[in-house]
Structure 1
Amino acid sequence: AIFYIALEAPFLGIVQVVVYTGAVMMLFLFILMLVGVDSSDSLVEKIKGIRSVAIFTALAFSLTLITFIARAELGRPSVGLDEANSGGNVEGLAQYLFSDYVWAFEVISALLITAALGAMVLAHSEKSDVARTSQRARSIARFRGKSIATAAGLPGSGVYARNNALDLPALLPDGKPSDLSIAEVLHRRGDVAESKSYQLEGLPKIDDEGNK
C-alpha cells in the first residue's frame, strides 16, 4: 500500500489495506472451518467429478497465464501517471480496469473465491447413516447407567461410630455388606476391610415396660 501511494496511486493503496484486512479475517474463518478435520489423505472423492473439474481448471488457468505473459509488451518507456490521473486517480483506475483490462479483472476476481471453495471442499464430510440419539435420551442413559437400579447412584462406603474409611462396605437393610459401596480397585487389590468389628453385636431386648 505504501508503494502504491508513493507511485501516485492513493486510491489503490487504501483499497490494498481494506482488501487485505478482509483477507486476514477470511483466513481466521478458514482456520475455524478446518479445526477438527482429519488431515489424512483419501483417494475417495468427497464430491463426485471434482477431480476432473480441478484438472480442467488448472490447465485452463495455466494456458491463460501463458497467453498473457506471451502478449506482454516489455521495454516500453515509462511516462508516469500524470496522463492516467488527469481526471483523478479513481477515474483513471476505473477506465483501465473496465475497458482495457476487463477480462483480466474478471478472471482475478473469480480467483478470489478459490480459497473459500477449497476450504469448503476440505471441510466437507459425508452424512453418517447412524441414527443420532436425542439429547434427552443421552442424558437419561448417562444418569441411569447400565440399569435402572443404579439411576440414583451407587451406595457410599459404610459410616460407623469408630470408622468411616472407604474400604468399609455399607450394610444393606438385611445386614449384609454391599459390594457396590466399595470401589472396584479395592476389590481387585483385596483391600476391603471387615465391618463386623465396627458393628454392634446386638441390642438388648426391652419389654413393653422398658425393662431389659
Structure 2
Amino acid sequence: MVLAALGVLFVRKAVHAALLLAVVMISLACLYAVLEAPFLFAVQIIVYTGAIMMLFLFVLMLVGVDSSDSVVETIRGHRVTATVLGVLFAAVLAIGLGQVGLAPAVGLTEANADGNIEGIAAILFSDYVLIFEATAALLVTAALGAMVLAHRERTEPKATQADLAARRMKAYADRGENITPLPAPGVYARHNAVDTPALLPDGSPAPTSVSRVLTARGTVRSAPDMADDIDAVRRQMSGRPEPEADTSRAAVQGETPGDSQRPDRGGEQA
C-alpha cells in the first residue's frame, strides 16, 4: 500500500496514478477487514474503490488529460489560489496533528462492544466530527479539480447551425465537396454489399457511394447486373426448376442441348 501511494505521487500519467490509488484503497479495505471492521471494509470497496475511483477513471479517459496539460493554466490565477489553499490545508493538518493525544489501546472487543456500526457512528459524529467535515471538503475539492481538468478555454464563439451550413456551402463552392452527407452503399439498391453503389433518384449509380479504392480495382458491382444471380438463388432455395431460356436459344442457333459442352472431334458436325 505504501509503494502504491508513493507511485501516485511520482508516476507521470494520470491514469496510472488513478490505478495505483485504487490499489491503495483496496489495501486499506484489507486492513479494515483484519481489524474486524466489516462496515468500513464494505464501504471502502463499494463506495470508494467501486464508485469514486471508477468515476475518476471515466473522467480521465473521457477528457484525455496527459502530463503536458498539467502545465497549462486554463483558468487565470488558479495556480496562486491552489498554492494558498494548499498552505492553509497543510496548516490545518499540522494543528490537528499537534492536538492529537495518544491514549492506551482498548482492544477490538471493547471497541466493538455495542456493535461495529454503532461504535463508528458514535465516534464519527462526536470526537472526530472535524476530521469528518475535512474529508467532506476533500471530496468537494476533488470534484472541483475534475471540473478544472475538464475545462477548456474557448478561443472562438461556438458555431451555430447557420455557421455550419455556410461552411458547407463555401466548401462546395471552393472545392466541390458534397453539401449533404455521402449516400451509404446499397441505398435503394438490390444488394447490401459495400461494393454495390447506391442509386440516385434517376436510377443511375452514385459514384460517391463506393470507396475509391474499390473503384480503382474494378470490383464495383451493379445491382441490376446481379438480378439474374439473385433469381437463380431464389429458385434454388425454393426448389423450382431452372428456366429453359438456354435451351430455346440453342435451338434457335441450330444446336442441341449439350453441344457446347462436347469436345471437338476433328471438326465433326453434331
Q: Same fold (TM over 0.5)?
A: yes
| Corresponding position of 1:98 | 125
What is the TM-score with the length of structure 1 in the denominator? 0.58
Query: Unpaired runs of 5+ in structure 2?
Result: 1-28, 179-270
The amino acid across from 1:128 in the alignment is: T
Change (3 A) 1:5 1:36: closer
* 1:89 paired residue number: 116
Match of 1:3 among 21, 25, 31: 31
Please point out which of 156, 181, 186 is paired with 1:129. 156
Show the 5 A alignment for 1:1-212.
Answer: 1-19=29-47, 20-35=49-64, 39=69, 41-42=71-72, 46-74=74-102, 76-130=103-157, 132=159, 134=161, 135-142=164-171, 144-146=172-174, 150=176
Name structure 1 gaps, 5 residues minimum.
Answer: 153-212
Cα RMSD of the aligned pairs, angstroms, is: 2.7
User: What is the one-letter code of the residue matched to 1:69?
Assistant: L
For 2:69 and 2:30, the matched residues in 1 are separated by: 38
Between the aligned partners of 1:141 and 1:72, the Cα distance in structure 2 is 71
Residue identity in the other structure for 1:35: G
Deviation string, structure 1 residues 112-156 (Cα, Å, up to 9, x no partner): 2323212211321223334625343344344x2417xx478xxxx
Cα distance in 2 for partners of 1:110, 1:126 equals 26
Distance of 1:131 and 1:61 partners within structure 2: 38
Paired residues of 2:112 and 2:119 also in contact (CA < 8 A): yes
Pick which of 21-30 and 33-42 moved more. 33-42
Shift of 1:63: 0.8
Higher helix share: 2
Which of 124-133 and 111-120 deviates more? 124-133
1-side partners of 2:151 and 2:134: how far apart?
A: 26
Change (3 A) 1:7 1:61: same
Partner Cα separation in structure 1 for residue 57 and residue 81 of structure 2: 27
* Higher RCO structure (Cα 8 Å, ≥6 apart): 1
Please give the per-residue CA displacement for 1:58-90, whole angstroms capped at 9, x wherever unaligned.
12111111112222233x432212222222111
Contact 1:33 1:123 in 2 (8 A): no
Distance 1:133 1:141, change over 3 A: farther
TM-score normalised per structure 2: 0.47
Q: Quick one: distance in 1 between partners of 2:77 and 2:154? A: 18
Check conservation: 2:65, 2:149, Cα contact below 8 A: no
Q: Judging changes above 3 Å, is the alpha-carbon distance between structure 1 residues 3 and 129 closer, same or farther for their aligned structure 2 residues? A: closer
